[in-house]
Amino acid sequence: MDRFLFVAFAAVLVSSPAGAQQDSVARGERNFRVCAACHSLEPDRNMTGPSLANLWGRKAASLPSFDRYSDALKASGIIWDDRSLDAWLTDPARMVPDNEMPFEGIDDSRVRADLLAFLKEATKPGAAPERTAENRMNGGGMMGGMMSGGRAPNLKNLNPAQRVTGMTHCRDTYRVTTADGKTRPFWERNLRLKTDSSEDGPQSGAPAIVSAGMMGDRADVIFAAPNEISKTIEDHC
């Protein structure tokens, strides 16, 4: 009898509003993996899109540390709350015509509700950094973090195979030499040149090379500043 009562009580807990809310948050966290390719949950750590930390109650296009808002979103006057975020997730192009977010929207109201339930918890002031954990979602390695949209790896301290010491360009080929003494050729369309001026970016004069393809034929070379690109690459056949 006691066991029956315990099982019945457990069932009531699972089906309670609190239990249902926890289930919704868990589903929303899984759904956020798609969003994590472009949005961080950590304050002022911007990616393709702005950080979502402290989102509720914030005016659209108002995060001072993000410089890539569209003029349409700046002029929208939207304040982010449950209602406006649900409308945005439903159809951002309809809500703010000419905005530049490459996202078509979510038709399923339950998926939107779950995502908002997670975001409301994960973006509130004081949310623990590990709660925002793109690292936990995406595995966190050097290659995994860059390819799956998780937290970018810290490029300040590189092993020799990751630290670029020289680059040449000849016809359609880049050759990248690293501190371990190895030189690798890349078709010019398979090598992307990037900059990262954040606290996680490479040290000045020490660009990093990061794998960017499953076959090993693509990579990113990441510099501390744009003016280092021309200083590093030598035209030489």
Whether 228 shows a pLDDT value over 90: the answer reads: yes
What is the pLDDT at residue 144?
41
What is the pLDDT at residue 152?
64
CATH 1.10.760.10 domain position(s) in the chain: 2-138
32-41 average pLDDT score: 92
Q: By the 8 A CB rule, do 204 and 228 touch? A: yes
Which of 20-24, 118-122, 137-141 shows the lowest mean pLDDT across its residues?
Answer: 137-141
What is the pLDDT at residue 188?
94
161-179 average pLDDT score: 96
What is the pLDDT at residue 47?
85
What are the tens digits of pLDDT across the range 146-169? 434 455 678 999 999 999 999 999
What are the tens digits of pLDDT across the range 209-222? 999 876 778 999 99
Architecture of domain 2-138: Orthogonal Bundle (1.10)
What is the pLDDT at residue 48?
83
What are the tens digits of pLDDT across the range 86-126? 999 999 999 999 998 888 999 999 999 999 999 999 999 98
What is the pLDDT at residue 128?
56
Whether 30 shows a pLDDT value over 80: the answer reads: yes
Which of 16-20, 161-165, 170-174, 230-234 shows the lowest mean pLDDT across its residues?
Answer: 16-20
